[in-house]
Copies of this chain bind each other. A is one copy, B any other.
Amino acid sequence: MEEKYVKEITPKSEDFSQWYVDVIVKSELADYSPVRGCIVIRPYGYAIWENIQKLLDRRFKETGHKNAYFPIFIPESLLQKEAEHVEGFAPEVAWVTHGGQDELAERLAVRPTSETIICSMYSKWIQSWRDLPVLINQWANVVRWEKSTKPFLRTTEFLWQEGHTAHRTEEEAEEETLRMLQIYRDFAENDLAIPVISGRKSENEKFAGALRTYTIEAMMSDGKALQAGTSHNLGQHFSKVFNIQFLDQDGKLKYVWQTSWGVSTRLIGALIMTHGDDRGLKLPPRIAPIQVIIVPIFGKKKEEVLAKSRELYQLLKEKFRVELDDRDEYTPGWKFNEWEMRGVPVRLEIGPRDLEQNQVMLVRRDTGEKILVKEADLLNFLNDLMEDIQANMFRQAKKFMDDNTHTATNFEELKELLINKRGFVKAMWCGEGECEKKVKEETTATLRCIPFEQEVISDKCAVCGKKADKMVYFAKSY
């Protein structure tokens, strides 16, 4: 029975893509819906999103941001104001053409992102330097009509947050852009235990309408890159077309400098693909909806074991997200597999012999290690254990990323690595979009970012051989 249950998930090594979908559906993170390209986020998956929201929202508020809510509909004329922006988004917009029985005079876009609707309000709200900075964030759903979709990573509708800020000076806007990227990095590494490369996107890869886009790039356990969060310095692109002007202290009318930044439910996909294994999901304690699952093993002392399990549940509940699986219809072995598949960091087993010894058995999801702990030490031990699991999961992921990051000095090497090896390839780049395109055409890999942490590999572009002073990352990506 145990054996069979585990086999229901396609092994990761056999078919990564099918493994990913199996984990999502079997662990009840999400399910397919009757709407093309849309998923249902089930309670277990949504609880992860709630934890993501809580941990990020606190960081946003600590840095002075406030939440607001803007309409989901954007009149077509508004969306078209910024030329690059509309070009980037128009192909993937869902259009509302009818309200009730009536055809609308102007089509409404279901927001693919909210720069335009928000800018139209900022031009009304911002008059003086005293009104600046404006630091607003929105938690919302957005829609992009994607050709091919994959749960959490790319769906027609998804949930995200989008920050939109306005500043007096270019410097302030750049500072904000980098501050928010740093918050994303801190969150990804410390809470999600996902190591990331942070840096700047190339001109080809930047956000439609931005001056500069910064990104954090994570490596999934099949070696592909996943863009986990982006922060854009919008410059004055939008303020000029939406006429967002303020009277500065020097008496002059000036355009504001803007930023926008966002992360989405695709982070749940990143969690699955960074940490999961053949047994299923593996969640870092800080983000796990259930941190400890108590599985009683009744033996011949059902009443006593159940009473003690309930007592432990009450004890742990104050400090941890804990659940007690006291279902009669399943065997302990079945439950072990179930909760391993669902990625709970720590399993607490308690049976008749443990009762006598005043102890419990703890089992780590990340290493499989079993540890006997005296009841009296349990709270403190668990506290340390959570920290240890969190740190170990980050270390494992970081080691995987390091082990799968290669270096290329010429185009042959670059091609060979990108086609035949999984992972990232570091190489020098001259800055030309043509070289980027050539790599993409011949390998399907893209330039992921120009990292802040630079290394000098050589002084020549790995693609064209001309002078180059930037080291960049190339990778296939989601």
A→B interface (CB under 8 Å):
31, 33-35, 38-43, 45-47, 49-50, 66-75, 78, 90-101, 107-108, 110, 117, 120-121, 124-125, 130, 136, 140-141, 143, 145, 156-157, 159, 329
Residue contact B101 to A91, C-beta cutoff 8 Å: yes
Q: Are B159 and A38 in contact (CB under 8 A)?
A: no
Main secondary structure of the interface of A (DSSP, over half): mixed
* Minimum CB–CB distance for A90 against chain B, Å: 8
Contact B100 A93 (CB under 8 A): yes
Give the CA-CA distance A48 to B124 in the complex, in Å.
23
Residues of chain B with a CB closer than 8 A to A99's CB: 93-95, 145, 156
Using Cβ atoms and an 8 Å threshold, which residues of chain B touch A72? 38, 110, 141, 143, 157
A97 to B143, CA, bound (A): 14
Taking CB as reference atom, which chain B residue is nearest A38?
Answer: B71
The 8 closest A-B pairs by CB, nearest first: A43-B66, A38-B71, A99-B145, A41-B69, A95-B98, A100-B145, A35-B71, A97-B97
CB nearest neighbor in B for A145: B99
- Is B96 within 8 A of A68, CB to CB? no
- Check A35–B68 contact: CB distance below 8 A: no
With A46-B67, A66-B47, A108-B35 as contacts: A157 and B100 at CB distance below 8 Å? no
CA distance A331 to B429 in the complex (A): 58
Whether A95 touches B94, Cβ cut-off 8 Å, given contacts A35-B74, A43-B66, is no
A78: chain B residues within 8 A (beta carbon): 34
Tell me the minimal C-beta distance from A391 to chain B in angstroms.
30
A329 touches B94 (CB 8 A): no
Given contacts A33-B117, A34-B78, A121-B33, contact A40 B71 (CB under 8 A): yes
Q: Do A70 and B100 touch (CB < 8 A)?
A: no
Q: A72-B141, A95-B99 are in contact. List 18 more A-B contacts (CB 8 A).
A: A31-B124, A33-B70, A33-B71, A33-B120, A34-B78, A35-B74, A35-B75, A38-B72, A39-B71, A40-B71, A41-B68, A46-B66, A46-B68, A69-B159, A71-B157, A72-B143, A97-B97, A99-B145
18 cross-chain CB contacts under 8 A? A33-B121, A34-B117, A35-B117, A38-B72, A40-B71, A41-B68, A43-B136, A46-B68, A46-B69, A72-B143, A73-B94, A73-B156, A94-B96, A94-B108, A96-B110, A99-B145, A130-B329, A140-B141
